[in-house]
């Protein structure tokens, strides 16, 4: 089945009630100039991450000349995407939608989790829940949330460019989880897992959950349940 998407397949986020991130106004953005539309940042940085990941995996060998990671989803980028899809059994569309993105960046999440000695499935679940694997994702109701793990740049000492960078964002999240895992110990494995996941969404709620043993509100419980559901599908 074909995927919809151009470069970063989102502009603003699924917290406006949509099932997945997508271009809210269906604008034909390619990340080349701010004049292309108001979601330039999301597309430009998202495309840069897509290009960088493909280059890291040596897919630039399929295009002529030296490939420059520039945030523009051009014909050469589309060719690399198609080659990646062909090699990994993904429907060849040349677009980076949820299936391609989750596979493309999920492989790096797996590598990072191993390096940090953290359970890959939980990180994969958060990535799917937060952005569906899109490195250009931005929050609709929470505009500070950016990137593949929706790091809140208004709360954490992180720039928008860093949050949209899949390597920085993944490593940052791994380290954040490492701290949470150390913090929430001594009261059982299930509570430890729940609170460590919840901390990514709401640190104060996670602390309260750990202290009382009960989720402080329904939304945080649903968040953790959704992450765990995605984690169970981790390839």
Q: Token pair for residue 118?
A: 């953290």
pLDDT tens, residue by residue, 20-45: 555 444 455 556 666 655 567 777 88
Give the mean model confidence (pLDDT) for residues 72-76.
85
- Indicate the pLDDT class of residue 224, thresholds 50, 70 and 90: very high
Look at 10-19, 65-74, 132-141, 153-162 and tell me which has the smallest mean pLDDT. Answer: 10-19
**What band does 105 get if pLDDT is binned at 50, 70 and 90?**
very high
CB 102 within 8 A of CB 208: no
**pLDDT over 90, % of the chain:** 60
- What number of CA atoms fall less than 13 Å from residue 118's CA on the CB side? 30
HEC letters along 31-47: CCCHHHCCCHHHHHHHH
End-to-end CA distance of the chain: 19
CA distance 154 to 151: 9
- DSSP type of residue 154: T
pLDDT at residue 8, as a whole number: 42
pLDDT value at residue 73:
81
Closest CA to 96 of 163, 167, 43, 172: 43
pLDDT of 104 above 60: yes
Q: How far apart are CA 103 and CA 147, in angstroms?
A: 16
**124-139: burial string, b at 16+ Cβ within 10 Å, e else:** bbbbbbbbbbbbbbbb
Most confident of 22-31, 97-106, 137-146, 202-211: 202-211
pTM of the model: 0.87
For residue 42, the model assigns a pLDDT of 76
In sequence order, the β-bridge partners of residue 12 are 22
Q: Which of 140, 46, 160 has its CA nearest to residue 101?
A: 46
The strand pairing partners of 145, in sequence order, are 152
In angstroms, the CA 234 to CA 227 distance is: 11
The token pair that represents 220 in the structure block? 């945080």
Label residue 16 by pLDDT band (50, 70, 90).
Answer: low
């Amino acid at each position: 089945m074909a995927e919809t998407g151009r470069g970063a397949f989102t502009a603003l986020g699924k917290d406006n009630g949509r099932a997945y991130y997508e271009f809210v106004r269906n604008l034909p953005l390619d990340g080349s100039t701010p004049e292309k539309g108001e979601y330039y940042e999301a597309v430009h940085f998202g495309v840069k991450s897509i290009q960088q990941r493909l280059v890291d995996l040596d897919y630039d060998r399929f295009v002529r000349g030296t490939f420059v990671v520039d945030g523009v989803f051009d014909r050469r980028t589309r060719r690399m995407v198609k080659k990646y899809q062909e090699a990994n059994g993904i429907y060849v569309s040349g677009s980076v939608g949820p299936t391609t993105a989750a596979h493309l960046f999920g492989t790096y999440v797996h590598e990072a989790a191993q390096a940090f000695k953290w359970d890959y499935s939980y990180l994969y679940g958060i990535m799917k829940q937060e952005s569906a694997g899109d490195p250009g994702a931005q929050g609709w109701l929470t505009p500070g949330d950016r990137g593949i793990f929706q790091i809140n740049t208004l709360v954490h000492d992180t720039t928008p460019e860093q949050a949209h960078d899949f390597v920085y964002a993944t490593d940052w999240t791994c380290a954040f989880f490492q701290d949470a895992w150390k913090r929430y110990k001594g009261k059982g494995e299930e509570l430890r897992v729940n609170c460590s996941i919840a901390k990514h969404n709401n640190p104060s709620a996670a602390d309260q959950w750990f202290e009382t043993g009960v989720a402080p509100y329904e939304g945080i419980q649903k968040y953790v349940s959704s992450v765990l559901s995605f984690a169970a599908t981790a390839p």
